[in-house]
Structure 1
């Protein structure tokens, strides 16, 4: 009996789980027994023949050339090769004295007519797969333009079958949202976040904990904001699925990952790290611990500014916040003016302004296609601009939604006024992470000149009338976070409870 290799192939892993491989094995085995052939080794590959350099296929060709077998048996031509380069490797085997057999086709490679027929079938097979690829891409693009994601749902969403948008998973979606909140707090690296998500129980499709690469993939995927980004082509589509992460939080995470928002974690995590600069030379003032105290030191050797202690910073922050607190009569007036503003047309004007900006953004998106058709911009430039404009449009939609929600909530306004009346006490009773959040968001300019601390309050802290307040509550910023739940959003586990507590000031907290 002539020793031969048996080669079987399926295009996808999914096909390999079905009967395709078994059917090929049965056909080849039956053919070998009828023609006095013996299959001495099987070569099985789960890879499309359109790709060159299939590892199992290449190994088999090398073994044949070394004389390990006298023949090769395959199911049919389209199972052997659908690209002409691989077919050339197969068709040259008869010249080396190796016989080629096909279990379902009567082709004699020893005759001119048999070789010609086999070559023609190989060309037809290659054309078939290229046409199939084009039709598949056309179908996928059609789905994407409809806002549907025709691939496997990312972690946090579930598949609902063809033609249906992905929906948030009731178990994993809240954990994905928490992953974004934790990383946006600036208190986690990718590694520490991976460990925290493992503790919370977020797992991948196989049930295993999320890997470091998996965490990075989640944090970089705009799918969670409602957009579909095809990485291979750079194309961006607006999805029909429900977003679970707002655009502002997603943008904050991208800035942190790119190193644009300061260092995320340090060895000691001192309260005010990275928040203060020297008012003379402009250099940063990193913290260091000496003899039980934390000092923030200017890094310029000949600068008059030297160091300032952390407890002195806390004391100055307390005094400044105390002076910015609103009085009860101011709070009452603001609340009355707020009620009048809700019932006036001014709030609607804010919403209409956002809708006008949205319409302008949509028009710019529409003009992009014309620029591409006229060859004014390249495909790469088109995808890049479309991605930026689409993200801007998502931001505007979030702003409009928040503007509507704020105008409907009297409880939010009451909570905000309570916060404004107790800023100093909130700082005293806050945890270190919460103190950091307050300083970062309450003061826009934070410098140390000599031994003097300069704290310039942010615009929203200087509010004394509703005319100054309304533009701030309809845009992204600290007030929205304060109004959202009445808490300082450091992280889900470290939120600040605004319930009044006894006021106690000590030197190590000041």
Structure 2
């Protein structure tokens, strides 16, 4: 029986641990001498077996069909094939008797049921290895892109660092970065054409593109130069699998310079990068792993009409856990859930003006009280000033030379006490000088916001929607296609108010505080509780006014100084 030796090593990284072709042939020849096998021919090939079309393999199959060779000696069965079609050819030739034996150093496959089964299983495992490797590589490359590092070879002017494969970052090439920047400068000057820039780079500067095969490098080509001038990577973005990512690498130019370059090239329609403004970008985190929720836009063509529709999806960015679930939720589903959550903290209509009038009444009463307190504080401060002067005069009095009237210790103690009291009273007086108008306005705006938030959300643009949920909710997360948020304390307290139904759509009158006759005991109790809740809400805003002075502006009205623009 005549055997052939088949040795193969792929140029791909997954075959890195496999013996070299020369080592495979040497080992297989030793096996042939040991088992006294006749070797008719040696086939060697440097090509991947994950797909069909290997010339040397096909040539060997032809020799086997002619009957010139009856057996194959290879290092492992995966050297013969890693794809199902070539595996089927080997199995068929083994079953028909064209191949009588397939030998490896550890295994012999002959034309019988068990051996054909085992060879088929080993070929399937070889294919499974390729499939798993491919999925892992794709997953790893996508994760790398989402982390801001472009997969693949770095563009001219950049290079990959010496980190672990799969985790390498792209850094400026110290030899080419400044040189490529000079190419951009020539283009942006507007006085040089691309062919002229190419001639200057190759002939005057001696620009050479690094090559693995040619250590001296090769001259820059025109297509390569155009690729540089139209590549968004140079201003900080890159495209991977049709999606745009913001890179973490150091940009070589600005966005404005890139766009100006495209105008000079006459490619303004092609050069301007597509920018999708997603409504909830940066507003949510993944409830499972804590990564930011990212968004992407997909397009679908309706078969019935041929119309193209766009859909926006939100899902985990896998920034902290690459194995996190990527269940996505559409923007329309997200909108619907948010509207329902806003409805839960929306106050009923018909009470707003009553509440505002009540707050104005309370503030008026407080101003009267503050006025008398302010006069008392000012009088106390005047008295303290007199006491401090008298204390100082006594201390420096000639008759107190021996300190028998006032000792140094007593002087220091009494002066400190008076100064401490003076500071405390001045602080109280400063508080009384502020009439509480800002806090009152903020409280009103919070109520108004709680009343109209849902309407503003439904009619608002992307900026307004994002501003509304950021002001209403904290701990914003998405998990299993469900929105999870907590109403902020000030809106939560407003939403829990128990509104007396009998004051709805009425005007506040100070007499109501006297609990006039005609009100039932239940109504008086309900009103008393309601007023206490209103006072608690206002007190909360007075203590936390600085945290809530940037509510989104109200639609249809100009924002005042307390309303920050969205």
Provide the TM-score with structure 1 as the length reference: 0.48
Higher relative contact order (CA 8 A, sep 6+): 1
Task: With the length of structure 2 as denominator, give the TM-score of the two structures.
Answer: 0.44
